[in-house]
Amino acid sequence: MGDLAHIAPTTVGLFLAISSVAGFAGAVVPSLTRNPALRLRFVMSGFVVMAVSVYWFFNQMGAVHFLLGQVFVNVGFYMVTPFVTGLLTENDPDGALVLRTLVVALIGAAVGTALAGELLVRCGPALFSVFAIAAVGLGALGALRVFYRLHLLHGAAQRGDAVSVSLEPGQVNGMRP
């Protein structure tokens, strides 16, 4: 994308470094709320920020668009990651869910990185951005599912239901039968 935007490789490296540091501003968002009812709103906002910035990054050329697209992708990512990681950790007594999530993330990063360059060359930036936004959308749907199930679990626990919803299929009250 740096070549398409006519940005020198050294400037691309500098912009990526700046965006990584500036992106940590997104990590401030999770620290702003202790109210669980607001968490889903912040997570979905993070996904929206990522999706819009991905579109912007791949469809608007120039150094400023390159830099801001990267900064806001990182901001959105760091808005989402602490909430999702915290929820998984909080609701995973034996660590199995966190480990499976890590394996999926590592496989996705490896396969995604290997295929992204070729897909970008074959499809062009505009169509590639559609695929990238679809991936962000799938992540948002997954987060919605987790938040929804946790809401049901929390509601069932408050009502004192004998059988409650769990994060993992086949579990009752967090235990495997």
Q: Does pLDDT of 174 surpass 80?
A: no
Q: Does pLDDT of 176 surpass 70?
A: no
Burial of 67 (C-beta count, 10 Å sphere; 0-12/13-18/19+) = buried
pLDDT tens per residue across span 66-105: 888 888 999 999 888 888 787 777 777 888 888 888 888 8
| 27 close to 84: Cβ distance less than 8 angstroms | no
Residue 55's Cβ-side half-sphere holds a number of Cα atoms within 13 Å equal to 10
Residue 27 banded pLDDT, cuts 50, 70, 90: confident
Residue 151 banded pLDDT, cuts 50, 70, 90: low
- DSSP-based three-state secondary structure for 175: strand
Extents of the domains making up the chain: 9-159
**pLDDT in the model for residue 140:** 92
Q: What predicted TM-score, i.e. pTM, was given to this entire model?
A: 0.75
The H or E element containing residue 52 is: helix 36-59
**pLDDT in the model for residue 156:** 47
pLDDT tens per residue across span 101-150: 888 888 888 888 888 888 888 988 889 999 999 999 998 998 888 778 77
- For the beta carbon of residue 32, count every other beta carbon within 10 angstroms: 9
